Structure 1
């Protein structure tokens, strides 16, 4: 039994920073297992956050420069982490940071040049996990469900609450997954206007009041009526959601309160619609930054009622599950096994996705 020792790198749409998870991953008796051995969260500087946030508006030349700069930065952060770790690392699996995601146009781009990441870190790199799926007419997202299927099969639903909310579950023997809609993106947008990084435990949101007019506008957004497979991101947020926030006369407390109710209504609608009605004790695993928001979790449980239990795991798994899954995807890529599921993305076939780079001085 060989144990892969992998550094998983994840940067999400919420722009909190870079998550690094040093994972051991192995297969035993046809089941994949993992342990998260060490972690780090590298906060973005204000300058880096703005740079990444505005990547979508950059010229082709400036975007290419950011791709290179960010790849070097990822390599530097990885090398610092590895040097401090003083343990063997087989390779790095990097999600990168999504700057463009318009799969209906055949476009997706993850910042973080893989060759420069490899050169700077001195380690082999697997990255760019979305492009192949998009070329196969898929959404290129969500990707985490392969990890849900292989590592967290004991749960009926796996919910990730990053900038966007996505859910995955088994239906008729296939893994189904899609982006439900909003999660932390509007919450962080509002708290940043207040000079806060986030609303700790949802205390500010809890103090607000529900605004039914805004709730109805949010629930009526056309995206929610689209069939799955579907995915969304910052473009949707900036075009559809930001104008509602900017045009609102509500207090920040009421905005936060209403957005959490909206998020939870959409999540509950998705989960209850796909619940196995013959099963009485369904469980939903909640991870991602939103799972640390107690008001979010309390509201979600109240919307789900007694039919689905919300399970919030330890803080390490909450924060680093996505980085863990990209580490697993890297392992599957090296083994030539499926790591992106057509049942999830809508592609013409399953795929073994990811580009591989070896440090130039090791070639």
Structure 2
């Protein structure tokens, strides 16, 4: 266990449900405050790796396919870390710990089951650095949702800002962290993020995602479908709650043209985020958007319209929105080493503040 107050150089590695690639980011932290932010890098998965990973989504037991996917994920992370080290001329042996999220392939907390593939021991050997992984299992085993994990890092980032505020991270799924005046935390998945929009673009427009939201901007929202979507029981369900990447799909806009479907899905993601405010203990002064969704100006404008509030993107605060989740897993790794809680009753529904993670020595 790391002693209190000691600042460590932590490298965080994240691969989200949209299976874009590996985000790598360095921070220096004692697991409470953040001393400095280091460089970051995103290394896209090649298409073959992406196919292997997608092929095991929803798997419930180990097989030759999950073993192959785990090997591919681990090797991609090792290669991403080496590339980061070369590009930024930072030797890996100067890193104290790696926080390795792995790749979620199945998340069913109601059955006390979550699975992030990625071999922590193999990564520690490959990099010669201690690795903390498996950061969700302890929470899920205790009855928590195991997600979202980033809220405690959001709280560290906003210490100097006026609160209450909300940080919404739009990845494949979108999640929100509400932070009160006194630092109280409430967090949950709001609904779909970029996932259904990406799937629609791949299916209907031959592109991996809606670049700058231009397809959605050219379309018209189907109001009838939107209102029906907004009645989904998930939105009124009280937190804690979390979603799997496949819980919301793009099928509810089937039959629309490519642009209208993208516009309707984009408005659906924004509507789900706005509906999350019904669960906040107090209204927020502003929303801060981060994750891949922050790079979609159409989505950001739509969130502002739906929430009728001040909406800014993470980069407006000088945050590196692309690196934020990777930074969070670096932060969580240091907290795990110190035995500090990663999850809380207000963030995952865990019965008490809980630490977690598994340590692998090189």
Structure 2 equivalent of residue 336 of structure 1:
339
SS of aligned partner of 1:8: strand
Structure 2 equivalent of residue 252 of structure 1:
258
Q: 1:101 and 1:210, CA in 2 relative to 1: closer, same or farther beyond 3 A?
A: same
Deviation readout 1:274-317 (Å, 9 max, x if unpaired)? 2735x7xx021110010111111111112222xx3112132862
Distance in 1 of aligned mates of 2:35 and 2:300? 26
Structure 1 equivalent of residue 234 of structure 2:
223
Structure 2 equivalent of residue 157 of structure 1:
166
SS of aligned partner of 1:351: coil
Q: 1:7 and 1:205, CA in 2 relative to 1: closer, same or farther beyond 3 A?
A: same
Is 1:13 the equivalent of 2:22? no
Gap runs ≥5 in structure 1: none
Deviation readout 1:89-119 (Å, 9 max, x if unpaired)? 1121011110110011111011111001111
Distance in 2 of aligned mates of 1:124 and 1:250? 50
Is 1:213 the equivalent of 2:224? yes
Structure 2 equivalent of residue 326 of structure 1:
329
Structure 2 equivalent of residue 263 of structure 1:
269
Distance in 2 of aligned mates of 1:61 and 1:256? 36
Deviation for aligned residue 1:319: 0.7
Is 1:199 the equivalent of 2:210? yes
TM-score normalised by L of structure 2: 0.89
**Paired residues of 2:58 and 2:106 also in contact (CA < 8 A):** no
Gap runs ≥5 in structure 2: none
Is 1:76 the equivalent of 2:79? yes
SS of aligned partner of 1:235: coil
Structure 2 equivalent of residue 61 of structure 1:
63
Structure 1 equivalent of residue 104 of structure 2:
98
Is 1:167 the equivalent of 2:166? no
Deviation for aligned residue 1:171: 5.2
**Paired residues of 2:153 and 2:331 also in contact (CA < 8 A):** yes
Structure 2 equivalent of residue 304 of structure 1:
307
Deviation for aligned residue 1:244: 2.6
Distance in 2 of aligned mates of 1:148 and 1:162? 15
SS of aligned partner of 2:27: strand
Deviation readout 1:3-27 (Å, 9 max, x if unpaired)? 3211110111111111111222247
Equivalent pairs counted in the alignment come to 346
Q: 1:336 and 1:273, CA in 2 relative to 1: closer, same or farther beyond 3 A?
A: closer
Deviation readout 1:204-234 (Å, 9 max, x if unpaired)? 1011001022212321222223211000022
TM-score normalised by L of structure 1: 0.89
Distance in 1 of aligned mates of 2:219 and 2:86? 46
Distance in 1 of aligned mates of 2:199 and 2:213? 14
Structure 1 equivalent of residue 142 of structure 2:
136
SS of aligned partner of 1:139: coil
Deviation readout 1:250-272 (Å, 9 max, x if unpaired)? 11100111111111122122226
Distance in 2 of aligned mates of 1:227 and 1:287? 23
SS of aligned partner of 2:323: helix
Distance in 1 of aligned mates of 2:58 and 2:342? 31
Which of 349, 355, 360 aligns to 1:357? It is 360
**Paired residues of 2:235 and 2:275 also in contact (CA < 8 A):** no
Quote the RMSD (CA, aligned, Å). 2.1
SS of aligned partner of 1:55: coil
Deviation for aligned residue 1:235: 3.2
